[in-house]
Structure 1
Amino acid sequence: MAAFGQIQWGPLMFGPGTQYAVTTVSGLDDLPDIRTEDVERPGQHGDYTGPDYTGARTIQLGLGLRGEDPDDLRALSIALRNATQPQDQPAPLQFLDQGVLVYGKVRKRSIPYDAEYLWRLGDAALEIYCADPYLYGLDEQSASTTAYSPAAGRTYPLTHPRTYGSAGTSGRVTAVNSGASPAFPVLRIDGPVANPAIEQVGTGANLTLDASLQVGEFLIIDTRSRAVLLMGTSPRRSWVRGGSSWPLLQPGSNELAYRGSALPGAPGQSSLLTVTWRDTSL
């Protein structure tokens, strides 16, 4: 376990054992503002209530800068300023002792000038805007399985000793989300395979692709953004069969079944499904 209060943002570490003391943290365990879908009941008391969704999360950090001398304090201020520039994309803010991270952008930064304390002590405040409000586990988890294949059975005519074919593979994988909110998995399918399908057992979710992957080809499927990328770069969203539904890892244990057809000319080569996710909470 990391030291209590340790936080990492890019190259900088805040908290015990560093020159950036963490004085306050707010917004991490708070519930973001709720966006409701409630509608008034005409001619009656009360509302019709729909599902609740959260808005963005805002995290505020208070820091104490502890330099050895004025030059060192100035170097700490410059390093903090350089690490908190405007961003094109969110970056991970890791709460190492809490075991969680968020993805955010620096929207406010304050490093006040106080001549009375500038010999070696200073203060700073950061505001991190998280368009994605989820709290994610630090550890990225993954599990893999080959596509389902039936057992080969007995070999005929029978001989002594009798011979049997391979036992087959189940094509199932279990993903455990230890968070309190549904997690969006990233799915990677490695060929060779034709018309691969991923079913979330017991939920009715079934994602089928009308496509073939050759040996050495792979497909990345991001269930959150609904991106389908051949070789991780080329969009292939049109490969998703109409009527498909996307897997979503509920809190607890989730079982996924992977099926596909073998390609001609690739005997004995198994396609592989790899499921990657993080524990997820709000």
Structure 2
Amino acid sequence: MSQQQLGRIQWGDLTFGPGTPYTVTTIEGIDDLPEIRADDVNRPDQHGDYTGPDYTGPRTVQLGLGLRGESPDDLRALALALRDATQPQRQPAPLQLLDQGTLVYGKVRRRSLPYDAEYLWRLGTAALEIYCADPYLYGLDEKSASTAAFSPAAGRAYPWVHPRTYGSAGTSGRITAVNGGASPAYPVLRLDGPVANPSIEQVTTGAVLTLDATIQAGETLLIDTRTRAVLLGGSAPRRGWVRAGSTWPVLMPGSNEIAYRGTALPGAPGQSSLLTVTWRDTSL
């Protein structure tokens, strides 16, 4: 997509681009490949290197803006609003390219709001540098699909959670998750009990994650495959439940088949555990 068609950009409560008083004049670092962190070693007594896998460093996004006010006071208000929205941050925040369907997570590391008395009647400029420790480009839409654990017992009804986009319900403990990006996506897995010794298999790659644990009815377990956090009730760490030898599942570009299995708990007939897989299309 050309820069001229980049469209609107959202940062916090501010929107830049067509139809706003903030014109996007330049943007760099979105489609660029971040610096490669290579693992190459010289071949002794030979030409060339032994080369290992390439990983990228962080992404830096440079954003140039034009400010257009209705009066000098209005221009000052635009500058102050931009200043207030670009304060130092504790955690990364989403920079959303609304018309491109892409977002990155970053922190503002530099901000320039120059003063030029010759032009500061209605027009001004600004420049932002956004540091993205996570270099991935994510789809705006969060995708999700659910299935009950494979079991001969009848399923259990669960309410949908909006505004996520849900795929088709699983069949016999299986779902298909489509990563529309060009890089592996790290899903978040949610398990709703009751279930014992749940197992999630990425059938497409053969990765299997098994937990030596019992999740009671009404309990939930969140598994973040990127950070490898395992949280009971979304807050209590349970990393020790992961069985030795397990492989953390990721979603490769294209279609991925996920299988979910578990053992029903005594006294919970007809109640099957639910696996919900949530992800975004991912590229670099």
Please indicate, yes or no, whether the TM-score normalized by the shorter chain is above 0.5.
yes
State the 1:150 CA deviation.
3.4
Q: Which residue of 1 aligns with 2:192?
A: 190
Q: Which residue of 2 aligns with 1:165?
A: none
Question: For 2:208, which of 206, 218, 231 is the aligned residue?
Answer: 206
Once the two structures are superposed, the pairs formed by residues 122-271 of structure 1 within 5 Å of their partners are 122-150=124-152, 170-271=172-273
- Structure 2 counterpart of 1:230, which letter? L
State the 1:118 CA deviation.
1.1
Q: Which residue of 2 aligns with 1:44?
A: 46
State the 1:28 CA deviation.
0.4
Aligned-residue RMSD, C-alpha: 1.3
1:112 is the counterpart of 2:114? yes
State the 1:204 CA deviation.
2.1
Secondary structure at 2:144 match in 1: strand
CA contact (8 A) 2:153 2:272 kept: no
State how far apart, in whole Å, the 2-side matches of 1:240 and 1:13 are: 43
Secondary structure at 1:78 match in 2: helix
- CA-to-aligned-CA distance 1:99-123 (integer Å, 9 cap, x gap): 1000000000000011111111100
Q: Which residue of 1 aligns with 2:163?
A: none
State the 1:56 CA deviation.
0.4
Once the two structures are superposed, the pairs formed by residues 41-80 of structure 1 within 5 Å of their partners are 41-80=43-82
- CA-to-aligned-CA distance 1:226-278 (integer Å, 9 cap, x gap): 00000101110001011111001000000010000001111111100000000
Q: Which residue of 2 aligns with 1:161?
A: none
State how far apart, in whole Å, the 2-side matches of 1:151 and 1:224 are: 33
CA contact (8 A) 2:194 2:271 kept: yes
State the 1:97 CA deviation.
1.4
CA contact (8 A) 1:134 1:280 kept: yes
State how far apart, in whole Å, the 1-side matches of 2:244 and 2:44 are: 38
1:117–1:150 Cα change, 3 Å: same
Q: Which residue of 2 aligns with 1:89?
A: 91
Q: Which residue of 2 aligns with 1:160?
A: none
CA contact (8 A) 1:151 1:169 kept: no
Q: What TM-score comes out, normalization by structure 2 length? A: 0.91
State the 1:202 CA deviation.
3.7
- Structure 2 counterpart of 1:145, which letter? T
State how far apart, in whole Å, the 1-side matches of 2:112 and 2:235 are: 39
State how far apart, in whole Å, the 2-side matches of 1:202 and 1:233 are: 30
- Structure 2 counterpart of 1:274, which letter? T
Secondary structure at 1:80 match in 2: helix
State how far apart, in whole Å, the 2-side matches of 1:174 and 1:134 are: 23
Secondary structure at 2:218 match in 1: coil
State the 1:4 CA deviation.
4.5
1:272–1:246 Cα change, 3 Å: same
Runs of 4+ in 1 over 3 A off after TM superposition: none
State how far apart, in whole Å, the 2-side matches of 1:24 and 1:243 are: 48
- CA-to-aligned-CA distance 1:67-109 (integer Å, 9 cap, x gap): 0001100100000000000000000000011110000000000
Secondary structure at 2:84 match in 1: helix
CA contact (8 A) 2:188 2:277 kept: yes
State how far apart, in whole Å, the 2-side matches of 1:85 and 1:138 are: 24
Secondary structure at 2:19 match in 1: coil
Secondary structure at 1:73 match in 2: helix
Secondary structure at 1:75 match in 2: helix
Q: Which runs of 5+ in 2 are unaligned?
A: 155-169
State how far apart, in whole Å, the 2-side matches of 1:123 and 1:39 are: 46
State the 1:169 CA deviation.
5.3
Q: Which residue of 1 aligns with 2:102?
A: 100
Q: What TM-score comes out, normalization by structure 1 length? A: 0.92
